[in-house]
Amino acid sequence: MKILAIETSCDETAISIIESKGKIKSPKFTILSNIVSSQVAIHKEFGGVVPNLAEREHQKSLVPILMTALKQAKLFKKKRHALKKEDSTLRNILSREQELLKRMKEVFPLEVPLIDRIAVTHGPGLEPALWVGINFAKALSYLWNIPIVPMNHMEGHIFTALIKEDGKNAKKFSIEKIRFPIVALLVSGGHTEIVLMKNIGKYTIIGETIDDAAGEAFDKVAKMLNLGYPGGPAISKLADSGDASAIPFPRPMIKKNSYDFSFSGLKTAVLYYLRDHTSYKKRDVAASFQQAVVDVLTAKTMRALKAHKAKILALGGGVAANALLRKTLQDALPRRVKLLLPKISLTGDNALMIAVASYFKKKPTPAKMITARGNAKISD
């Protein structure tokens, strides 16, 4: 089976094509293409992602990325003739994506590539951004007559941890031997949640942030320290040379008996600290803040692992790139629990994770039923 996946939930435009072979339950995958085009440079000057700019950039980038992906996957077939101008169905599908329509008309129709399904992120994320990917998927589905499988973005992040690379060939991988239940700690710019996974496709959110996401806190504190956007990588780099015990920032809700998080108070504590101290070492602030976030994430996750007798801890999301978090989780892990960490290059948003997760979905969804769901939950 060949899968084409599209991911446009935030500020990365991503397309991946994978091929699966072998047994249905223990497939071997080959990455035929995996392209991520980041818009960070565009959003940087605004200090965060601007939804309308993201929407516009996705419209501009999707067609050239698709063409490159098809070529890399050797699925590119020649353009045959000009797209009929009167194709009103296509015009309807892309009525709100005029820029994307224009770019599609420049290259389509292409001969139908040998692809079995199109996977597309339908949420959670920024709705204007999600819609571009969804309508692109619908347009391709219409032109090529290939079914669509709508995917949850957070489920994709879980699968980055479940990928087991073939030691010899970086393009080949399988899925880790999974023993349930799995507890997944998902930490990104928009979400922070602990998910109990009883099987593939069976998810319960047992804890989540009641205000800011962990990545969001990193981004906001980085802004206060003038470290630019996105803040996570900048803070963790600076923290390397700082003293994590220099400032006793609060560990919000660490003692509370729920698996929920709160990071907005911590962010405010940093703000007050900077306001009330005329001289401070940025690196100590970064290190102490990072330690506070990691301590809370680790404490709650360990409690969840024990309470649910988890066999595996899977880490996912942009903040999964954080070296201190990776190490602290490993050090705190109960015996007999296996920690699965994603490859650093797959921690940020990408379409490969959407492709892999979609392999396990049985049925496609009729295009008409697919909508952007900004607040979609992994448990839906």
Q: Nearer to ligand KG4 by C-beta: 190 or 242? A: 190
Lay out the site mask for ligand KG4 across 311-340 (x = CB under 6 A, - = otherwise): ------xxx-xx------------------
| Nearer of residues 216 and 260 to ligand KG4, judged by Cβ | 216
Interior angle at CA 37, CA 35 and CA 43, nearest 5: 160
- The site for Zn ion (CB under 5 A) is made up of 188, 349
What is the closest distance, in whole angstroms, from the C-beta atom of residue 373 to Zn ion in the complex? Answer: 15
| In the complex, minimum distance from the CB of residue 320 to ligand KG4, in angstroms, rounded to a whole number | 8
Least spacing, CB of residue 380 vs ligand KG4, in Å:
17
Total of chain residues touching ligand KG4, rule CB under 6 A: 20
Half-sphere exposure for 296 (CA within 13 Å, toward CB): 31
- Tell me which amino acid residue 169 is: N
Q: Of 188 and 262, which has the nearer Cβ to Zn ion?
A: 188
Nearest to 113 by CA among 171, 82, 73: 73
The rounded distance, in Å, linking the Cα atoms of 47 and 265 is 21
Check: CB of residue 210 under 8 Å from CB of residue 188.
no
- The helix (run of H) or strand (run of E) holding residue 64 is helix 51-72
Q: Residue 123 Cβ, how far from ligand KG4 at the closest point, in Å?
A: 11
Residue 128 near ligand KG4 by CB under 6 A: no
Residue 335 CB, nearest distance to Zn ion (Å)? 31
Residue 153, CA atoms < 13 Å, CB-side half-sphere:
37
- Verify binding: residue 123, ligand KG4, rule CB under 6 A: no
Edge-to-edge strands of the sheet including 163-165?
A: 148-152, 117-123, 2-7, 12-22, 27-38, 172-175, 163-165
Site for ligand KG4 contains 133 (CB under 6 A): no
Q: Which does 109 bind (CB under 5 to 8 A by kind): ligand KG4, Zn ion, none?
A: none
Written in H, E and C, the secondary structure of 152-168 is EHHHHHHHHHHEEECCC
| Helix-helix angle 282-307:323-332, to 10 degrees | 40
- Shortest approach of ligand KG4 to residue 117 CB, angstroms? 23
Selected binder of ligand KG4 within 232, 242, 252, 364 (CB under 6 A): 232
Question: Please, what is the minimum distance in Å from the beta carbon of residue 347 to ligand KG4?
Answer: 7
Residue among 113, 156, 230, 342 that touches ligand KG4 (CB under 6 A): 230
Query: In 10 A of CB 261, how many CB atoms?
Result: 27
The residue within the footprint of ligand KG4, chosen from 133, 189, 207, 242 (CB under 6 A), is 189
- The region of 73-81, 230-238, 278-286, 329-337 touching ligand KG4 under the rule CB under 6 A is 230-238
- Which residues in the 196-215 window bind ligand KG4 by CB under 6 A? 215
Q: Which does 233 bind (CB under 5 to 8 A by kind): ligand KG4, Zn ion, none?
A: ligand KG4
For residues 373 and 375, give the distance between their C-alpha atoms in angstroms, rounded to a whole number: 5
CB of residue 80 to ligand KG4, shortest distance in Å: 38
Q: Which two tokens stand for residue 240?
A: 């390397």
**Phi and psi at residue 286, in whole multiples of 5°?**
-60, -45
Separation between Cα atoms, residue 92 and residue 60, nearest integer Å? 19
Residue ranges binding ligand KG4 (CB under 6 A) = 10, 188-190, 215-216, 218-219, 230-233, 236, 317-319, 321-322, 348-349
